[in-house]
Structure 1
């Protein structure tokens, strides 16, 4: 069985005025993200929205030293971007839609994601979202270490850094044995 993990496609990472935006490169993958998500919904497959969640008062969080405040819990910046937000709202109460507020780059770190996947007998995960060389990469490495088969949708991932993006796509395939489609 397979699942889709949609990572950090939020206003703060995608919108022109987002706090830590990928801008146009992130916006260009929106239609592919919608198509993939709709396909998983149509096939009644498990979809996880693994979304960066920060508290500006958390003085212990290392990202607070690395990046400006972003994806603050409960703000417009943490909401999904564009049509993905509308799609999520239409299906958010389905048994196959799950939202994770994540504190670290990896969707597995400090969350119950592995438990949720294993209780559904999922062995293959498909990754989409941003940033290819940060949160997608860290999630993929953890998934690999946990024994999941990986599929990366190259037309549905993006990054601030074009060199990092290309490096990560090669790393997924050559080091993690992922299928890049």
Structure 2
């Protein structure tokens, strides 16, 4: 059994004026990420939207010192970007679609993701979204440590750092044994 984990494809990370945008790189993967998400949703595979949720008033969150405020609770910056928002709205009530608010880079850190995957007998996770070298990477490392097979959809991940993006793609394959789908 397999699941799709869609990571942080939001206005703040993708829109031209997003608070921490990948810009053109993130926008360029829109069609691919929508296509993969529709395929998983229609096949009734488990589809997880793992989305950053921050509180600007939280003085203890380490990201507050590293990045500008982004994906703030109840802000439009946290909304899914472009056509992915439409895909989610059409499928959000389906039993195979699940939304996770995440506080850290990894979709597994501090969430019930591992429990949700295991109760469904899922052993293979497909990752899409942004940023390749931050949230996608940390999710992949945790998936590896938890024993999941990892599949990265190369044309459905992006970063604001092209060097970090390429490094992460290599790391997924060479260090985590991930399958990279071209």
Shared topology, TM-score over 0.5? yes
Q: Residue 63 of structure 2 aligns with which residue?
A: 63
- Aligned partner of 1:17 in structure 2 is 17
User: 1:117 deviation in Å?
Assistant: 0.2
| Cα root mean square deviation, aligned | 0.4
Partner of 2:85: 85
- Give the Å deviation of 1:160: 0.6
How much has 1:42 moved relative to structure 2?
1.3
1:12-43 Cα deviation digits (max 9, x unpaired)? 00000100101000000000000000100111
**Mapped partners of 1:87, 1:38: distance in 2:** 7
**How big is each residue's C-alpha offset from its partner over 1:114-165, in whole Å with a ceiling of 9 and x where there is no partner?**
0000000000000000000000000000000000000000000000110100
Distance 2:112 2:41 in 1: 21
> In the TM superposition, what are the counterparts of 1:40-59 in structure 2 within 5 Å?
40-59=40-59
* 1:6 and 2:6 are equivalent in the alignment: yes
Gaps of 5+ in 2: none
> Counterparts of 2:160 and 2:17 in 1: how far apart (Å)?
14
* 1: CA distance, partners of 2:157 / 2:73: 23
Q: Distance in 1 between matches of 2:107 and 2:150?
A: 14
Q: Identify the residue that residue 179 of structure 2 maps to in structure 1.
A: 179
Alignment of 1:138-153 (within 5 A): 138-153=138-153
Matches within 5 A, 1:156-175: 156-175=156-175
Stretches of structure 1 lacking an aligned partner (at least 5 in a row): none
Distance in 1 between residues matched to 2:135 and 2:48, nearest whole Å:
14
SS at match of 1:126: strand
Q: Secondary structure in 1 aligned to 2:37?
A: helix
Take 1:29 and 1:95, find their aligned partners in 2: how far apart are those partners?
26
Runs of 4+ in 1 over 3 A off after TM superposition: none
Deviations 1:78-116 (A, max 9, x none): 000000001101110111110001000000000000000
